[in-house]
């Protein structure tokens, strides 16, 4: 089996509003999809409250375990935005008003004739020595400390930050995937599909039941990092479905 370079990642979404169900998260799915494109393997996602102990525990668990950690939420100007403090605490670093962030934000508010008050200055706070993640939408930067990438929760801002950040990260060999739609439910294909998976151990074959109101059909997704490996497994999945069709036809005949 070919050895491919693997880069692993976790996402930590932060916010009471996600846990109350008031806000339906859009950032996890968006970043998950983009990490797949860049060949970064997302291994785990957590959502925690705006609570310093919960954020510190989660970020420390995840940064030790995975190559890259991405957070969303809690870097705005109000009292419930405590992500910069919590990430600083997790790294044992002081949380400071970053000089360059103060300059960027100060200039932006001056241009717009808006007071750069204490609350707005909170958005310049980050762990001492952190690098910036550019924010093309509303200026206030995200930041990088160690392997942790801290971004905004507002989806338009989060997406702009992801767009700036991803091309700069170490990436792995992307996983390719092919979907084969099976008209048969999982109960029908379960056993033969297990055989196909066993015969193609260097692929990952997922089976996703879909319910359309009348009954179940199945989307079979084959994943691999090598095109030839992928094609061989897809061919066997298709042959398996043909075999089921023929068995049904001969039963009817």
In this structure, the strands spanning 68-72 and 7-14 are: parallel
Instruction: Pick the closer one to a second copy by CB: 129 or 136.
Output: 136
Instruction: Compute how many residues bind a second copy; rule: CB under 8 A.
Output: 69
Is the Cβ–Cβ distance between 202 and 229 less than 8 Å?
yes
Q: Does 25 bind a second copy (CB under 8 A)?
A: yes
Q: Does 233 bind a second copy (CB under 8 A)?
A: no
- Distance of alpha carbon 64 from alpha carbon 55, whole angstroms: 14
- Distance of alpha carbon 82 from alpha carbon 51, whole angstroms: 8
- Distance of alpha carbon 108 from alpha carbon 86, whole angstroms: 26
Instruction: Please pick, from the candidates 6, 7, 32, 244, the single residue that binds a second copy as defined by CB under 8 A.
Output: 32
With b for 16 or more beta-carbon neighbours within 10 A and e for fewer, the 69-96 pattern comes to bbbbbbbbbeeebbbbbbbbbbbebebb
Residues in 83-112 at the binding interface with a second copy, rule: CB under 8 A: none
Radius of gyration, CA atoms only, the chain: 23
- Which range binds a second copy by CB under 8 A, 82-90, 114-122, 162-170, 224-232? 114-122
Instruction: Please pick, from the candidates 6, 49, 93, 176, the single residue that binds a second copy as defined by CB under 8 A.
Output: 49
Instruction: Pick the closer one to a second copy by CB: 32 or 102.
Output: 32
Q: Does 205 bind a second copy (CB under 8 A)?
A: yes
> Dihedral of CA 32/26/96/106: which sign?
positive
Instruction: Please pick, from the candidates 6, 23, 52, 171, the single residue that binds a second copy as defined by CB under 8 A.
Output: 23
Q: Does 60 bind a second copy (CB under 8 A)?
A: no
Residues of the shown chain interacting with a second copy in the complex, contacts defined by CB under 8 A: 16-25, 28-36, 42-50, 54, 76-81, 114, 117-120, 122-123, 137-138, 154, 156-157, 175, 177, 186-191, 193-194, 197, 204-211, 216, 221, 223
């Amino acid at each position: 089996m070919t050895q491919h370079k693997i880069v692993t990642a976790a996402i930590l979404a932060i916010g009471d509003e996600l846990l109350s169900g008031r806000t339906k998260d859009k950032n996890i799915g968006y970043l998950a999809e983009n990490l797949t494109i860049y060949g970064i393997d997302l291994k785990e996602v957590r959502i925690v409250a705006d609570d310093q102990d919960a954020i510190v525990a989660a970020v420390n668990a995840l940064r030790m375990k995975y190559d890259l950690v991405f957070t969303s939420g809690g870097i705005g100007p109000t009292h419930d935005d405590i992500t910069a403090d919590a990430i600083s605490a997790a790294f044992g670093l002081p949380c400071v008003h970053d000089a360059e962030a103060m300059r960027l934000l100060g200039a932006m508010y001056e241009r717009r004739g808006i007071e750069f008050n204490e609350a707005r200055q909170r958005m310049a706070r980050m762990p001492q020595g952190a690098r910036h993640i550019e924010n093309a939408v509303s200026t206030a930067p995200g930041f990088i400390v160690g392997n942790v990438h801290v971004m905004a929760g507002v989806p338009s801002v989060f997406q702009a930050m992801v767009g700036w950040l991803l091309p700069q990260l170490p990436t792995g060999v992307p996983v390719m995937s092919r979907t084969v739609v099976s008209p048969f439910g999982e109960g029908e294909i379960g056993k033969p599909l297990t055989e196909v998976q066993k015969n193609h151990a260097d692929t990952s074959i997922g089976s996703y039941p879909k319910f359309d109101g009348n009954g179940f059909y199945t989307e079979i997704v084959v994943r691999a990092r090598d095109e030839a490996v992928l094609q061989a497994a897809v061919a066997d999945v298709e042959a398996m479905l043909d075999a089921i069709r023929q068995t049904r036809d001969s039963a009817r005949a």
